[in-house]
Amino acid sequence: MKPKSNAPTDLVVPVAPSRGRLRPLGLDEVRITGGFWARRRETNATATLDHCRDWMERVGWLGNFSAPVEARQGREFADSDVYKLLEAMTWAGVGFDPITESIAAAQEPDGYLNTNFGRPGQQARYSDLEWGHELYCYGHLIQAGVARIRTRGEGELAKIALRAADHVCAAFGPDGIQGVCGHPEIETALVELARATGEQRYLDQAALFVARRGQGTLADGEFGRAYYQDDMPVRQATVLRGHAVRALYLASGAVDVAVETGDDELLAAVVRQWETAVARRTYLTGGMGSHHRDESFGDDFVLPPDRAYSETCASVASVMLSWRLLLATGEPRFADLAERTLFNVVATSPAEDGRSFFYANTLHRRRRGTVPAPDAVSPRAQSSLRAPWFAVSCCPTNVARTLALLPTYLATTDGQGIQLHQYADAEIAVDGTALRVRTDYPSGGTVAVRIDRAPDHPWTLSLRVPAWTEGIPAALVDTDGTRRTVTPGTATVTRVFRPGDEIRLELPVAPRWIEPDPRVDAVRGTVAVQRGPLVYCAESVDLPEGRDVDAVRVDRAAEPVDGPDGTVVAPGELVEPQDEGWPYRPLAPARVSAAAEPRGLVLVPYHSWANRGPSTMRVWLPTTPP
């Protein structure tokens, strides 16, 4: 796992490690041209960014930078959502000078910047490291500044971020405040700023924050120190725990520090935590976090579908962590989880019009939701349907920045060639090589890579063969028609390529049953349907009037099949509930089937649910008696 230097410092990317197995390709090297993600990125650029900006104006978060103390609006971390919006707008090439001017005017001469602390009538600076989120807000400010540096060079936003970072190093350096922020985020931001500027002090400060974490510097609150990962040092932890977003942001920062300092032990510790969390604490959709009360990971295999929190921000953070681990190690399993999470949580959160969002992503909705008012702020995570805005609106802006920078997650390069990790219609140009990718993925499984320009020496084209193909062989077809079977992992072709050559990956996209580990008590005895990377669900709008999804039973002895318009039809029946005053009875299969109505059950991609009005929904489906 020893990293090596391989990345230039002028990449137009959110993550640019100077060492590691793979070098990411930037927005100037990869362009998504069509298909599933192009549509969502277009909606993000034309609807979501303006929607977020308009709401921040309406609720006063943008005005906080110029408003008097008594007029400040929003939670203590509202500044961070402004910064995430600026990052998203930067990657999308949208201007925002008036916002930057008001932020610059609010920054103190020593670089301190926060609208909730430090001014007359407010709490003192850094007086509440557990809950104040000051360093967390700096993290998102710095990431926006890095985006500005990498897309346009110097600018006012970059200067604001640099002044803030210098202040953090002065205030929290070796001789400064011996603490950490209750919400990790500053760590990965400082490393990225060090990569963008070449300034060692930012990396040193990030490493110091990672080393301090787990030393008990934060107060032991109602959720315990594990809530903000201050219960044990990062190197000693064996699983991701506590608040899911905080845990994943911290792990991302730890990977960044490990890669830049060549710390194999620290990198291995995060890999170990990722492995355990994926094996025991992750939903089928890729969602993480099963507790509503503290937004945290549950214990091993505690993954109730109807109480799934699966916060959208945790999915964004999970993709961030998986991407960093992929760049560091080159192992395709990290891209597998990123794909699952992108298609089934990140893509699920925004509505089709890009103007309402899920904060939490349940896998089972028992009651039809209530349509939220279009002009009202919804309580955090409590909207039963996608809501236009929340009292805590971290998720809309996180989705916005993720979709804006999504092309940077598609491909990488190294000394041997180019690697494709996520599949979309795209054009890729790097180091004298130009590729065109054409695919109908994820609805279809053909990925065609055409060589438009190539060097006159051998190089390697690598394509990820997704883990979901396990047991259903995929194929790689060369220009001359040569065909070979490939298994989950990486398929490669190494030779001298000529313009016009085409390599085709054929993935067996078809519906298949998925069963849970029997230790996941909440869904034992049920099955789900997955088609390619997409998880499917039953939604009540596809059932007879007045029927809900809890009446669905599927027959796992028969196979689900493709239906029209991207649906899947599962063999099964509807069962009429029978209330008899006592919910437990002797096993009697014939009794259940006698009340059943045989039918083909229509299932839809999970990411599309709740776009047709209030409904009930479930991913894990009870089965008919044997």
Question: Which residue among the candidates 134, 295, 311, 539 is catalytic per the annotation?
Answer: 295
Buried b (16+ CB within 10 A) or exposed e, 546-555: eebbebbbbb
Please give the distance of CA 48 from its chain centroid, rounded to a whole number. Answer: 17
Query: Bridge-partner residues for 572, per DSSP?
Result: 554, 599
* Backbone conformation region of residue 301, classed left if phi is above 0, alpha if psi is from -120 to 50, else beta: left
Candidate list 181, 313, 394, 395, residue with the active-site label? 394
Q: For residue 235, what are the CA distances in angstroms to 203, 225, 247, 413, 585?
A: 18, 16, 13, 30, 50
Find where tokens 């410092």 sit. Answer: 9
Question: Which regions of 361-498 does DSSP assign to beta strands (E)?
Answer: 364-365, 411-413, 417-420, 425-430, 433-439, 446-453, 459-465, 474-477, 483-486, 489-495
Q: In terms of Cα–Cα distance, which of 465, 326, 408 is closest to 32?
A: 408
**What is the C-alpha to C-alpha distance for residues 83 and 415, in angstroms, rounded to an integer?**
36
In sequence order, the β-bridge partners of residue 571 are 600
Query: Residue 124 carries which DSSP code?
Result: P
User: Smallest Cα–Cα separation from 64: which of 25, 8, 14, 103?
Assistant: 103
Residue 537 is a catalytic residue: no
Q: Which residue has the tokens 């400060």?
A: 205
Give CA separation, 450 vs 81, 109, 160, 438, in Å.
40, 54, 43, 8
CA atoms within 13 A on the CB side of 26: 17
Among this protein's residues, is 108 annotated catalytic? Answer: no
**Which of 8, 14, 29, 33 shows the shortest CA–CA distance to 412?**
29
Active-site residues: which are they?
295, 394
